[in-house]
Amino acid sequence: MAAVRREDDKAHRSAVMRAVKSRDTSPERAVRQMLRGFAPFYRLHRKDIPGNPDIAYIGRKLAIFVHGCFWHGHDCRRGARMPKTNADYWRSKIARNRTRDAAHQERLEALGWRALVVWECELKDREALERKLRAFLS
């Protein structure tokens, strides 16, 4: 009977993971809403720009990435939380994400782009985040 329960758990977890979106997430929409007030005319998810930034100002060569703290290994409380099951897999997955993020930052820089990472946890203090965005865009 335990084997059936384990398979049900795997199927459920797999369904949950498939439902996790990679674009148009709540944090990303919140950042875009903030930007519309003072810096509209951005482009979304441009595949022709290294790293496929969530938000791009093409003429100004500015890219904004909105990262989930868990998925990209931020050093905040949520990012430091590691699942209890399959921990080796998750450590490896998050390490690969961080390596990939760093490579994208280097490629952007080499092409003359400036990039900003907005972490999901930064949305807790909207005023500070708006100041950060305004400073980056000016």
Q: Taking 90 as the threshold, does the pLDDT of residue 134 lie above it?
A: yes
- The pTM assigned to this predicted structure is 0.84
At 77-106, the pLDDT tens digits run 888 888 888 889 989 999 999 999 999 999
Task: Among 10-14, 18-22, 62-66, name the most confident range.
Answer: 62-66
pLDDT-above-90 percentage for the chain: 68
Position 17 in a domain: no
* Domain CATH code at residue 77: 3.40.960.10
Total tally of structural domains belonging to the chain: 1
Owner of token pair 């399959």? 86
Report the pLDDT value the prediction gives residue 74, as an integer from 0 to 100: 92
A 10 A CB-CB count for 91 gives: 13
- Average pLDDT along the chain: 89
Position 11 in a domain: no
Position 1 in a domain: no
> Containing domain of residue 115, as a range?
22-137
**DSSP structural state of residue 64:** E
Report the pLDDT value the prediction gives residue 51, as an integer from 0 to 100: 93
Position 7 in a domain: no
Report the pLDDT value the prediction gives residue 95, as an integer from 0 to 100: 94
Averaged pLDDT for residues 13-27: 72
Higher pLDDT, 5 or 30: 30
Position 129 in a domain: yes
Position 53 in a domain: yes
Position 2 in a domain: no
With CA atoms as reference, report the closest residue to 120 among 87, 82, 72: 72
Alpha-carbon gap, residue 69 to 76, rounded angstroms: 7
pLDDT band for position 133 (cuts 50, 70, 90): very high
Position 121 in a domain: yes
